């Protein structure tokens, strides 16, 4: 299968579902990671161009660890909206990956970029298969099944399914650690590093199913349903 995860920012996918993606990769599935915004406001000292270039490089380094293909959409950070242009780019990302499964943000997430990325991706589910919706890539002859990812900190999200990522936590951590540019200033903002925050959340999510570490998901239950939770690894 082809597995696509769509994150609003560089490092969102690593934080929220990289352990699950690593399990798919171990099973021989092809992994794609699409990043909607370029992270160009993610620094207290660097220019937008400088931090954007750094964050793309960090994403590339992270994707190499998983042998995943990076799809870089390059929208401005904090300014992702549902527009005809953004819809076309999201449709193209799904078509490029020929995804069987797509992981998207929780639609009730705390961050507007996350919420908008969720809506655009979910609304692209059917158009990816419509022949007369013309984009760079040809239309798909299938409609992908979608899952909502957890939100950072678990905000407004109650998982329905849990994936045991205890055996892939080390790789997930290495992927998130690639995003070094975010450590210092997020420590100032939240008094913690992204890696520590991620491990705390995954440990908490693992408590209910009895796993050391877990990632939580919900199915996107919009018509048509083409899969089920059994598609999770």
- pLDDT of 190: 78
3 state DSSP class of 191: coil
Query: Is 33:7 a contact under the CB 8 Å cutoff?
Result: yes
DSSP E strand boundaries for 93-186 = 101-104, 145-149, 161-164
- pLDDT of 51: 94
User: pLDDT means per 10 residues in the chain (233 residues)?
Assistant: 98 98 98 97 91 97 98 97 97 98 96 97 97 97 98 92 98 97 80 91 97 98 93 97
- pLDDT of 159: 97
- pLDDT of 66: 96
Calculate ∠ Cα 157-145-140, nearest 5°. Answer: 140
* Residue closest to 197 by CA, chosen among 13, 10, 16, 5: 16
Alpha-carbon dihedral sign for residues 212, 209, 199, 178 = positive
- pLDDT of 36: 98
Domain ranges of the chain: 2-231
- pLDDT of 187: 76
What is the largest distance, in Å, between two alpha-carbon atoms of the chain?
50
- pLDDT of 192: 85
- pLDDT of 31: 98
pTM score of the predicted model? 0.97
Class of domain 2-231: alpha beta
- pLDDT of 189: 75
Calculate ∠ Cα 211-217-223, nearest 5°. Answer: 150
- pLDDT of 56: 98
3 state DSSP class of 166: coil
139: how many CB neighbours lie within 10 A of its CB? Answer: 15
């Amino acid at each position: 299968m082809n597995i696509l995860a769509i994150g609003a920012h560089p490092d969102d996918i690593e934080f929220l579902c990289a352990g699950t993606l690593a399990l798919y990769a171990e099973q021989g599935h092809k992994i794609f990671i699409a990043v909607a915004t370029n992270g160009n406001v993610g620094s207290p000292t660097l220019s937008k161009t400088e931090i954007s270039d750094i964050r793309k490089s960090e994403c590339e380094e992270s994707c190499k660890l998983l042998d995943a293909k990076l799809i870089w959409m390059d929208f401005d950070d904090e300014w992702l909206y549902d527009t005809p242009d953004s819809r076309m780019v999201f449709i193209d990302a799904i078509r490029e990956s020929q995804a069987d499964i797509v992981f998207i943000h929780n639609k009730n997430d705390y961050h507007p970029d996350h919420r908008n990325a969720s809506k655009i991706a979910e609304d692209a589910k059917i158009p990816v298969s419509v022949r007369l919706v013309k984009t760079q890539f040809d239309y798909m002859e299938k409609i992908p099944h979608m899952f909502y990812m957890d939100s950072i900190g678990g905000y407004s999200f109650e998982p329905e399914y849990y994936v045991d990522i205890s055996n892939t936590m080390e790789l997930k951590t290495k992927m998130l650690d690639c995003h070094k540019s975010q450590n210092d200033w997020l420590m100032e903002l939240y008094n913690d590093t992204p890696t520590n925050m991620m491990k705390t959340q995954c440990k908490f999510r693992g408590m209910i199913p009895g796993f050391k570490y877990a990632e939580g998901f919900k199915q996107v239950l919009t018509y048509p349903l083409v899969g089920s939770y059994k598609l999770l690894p």
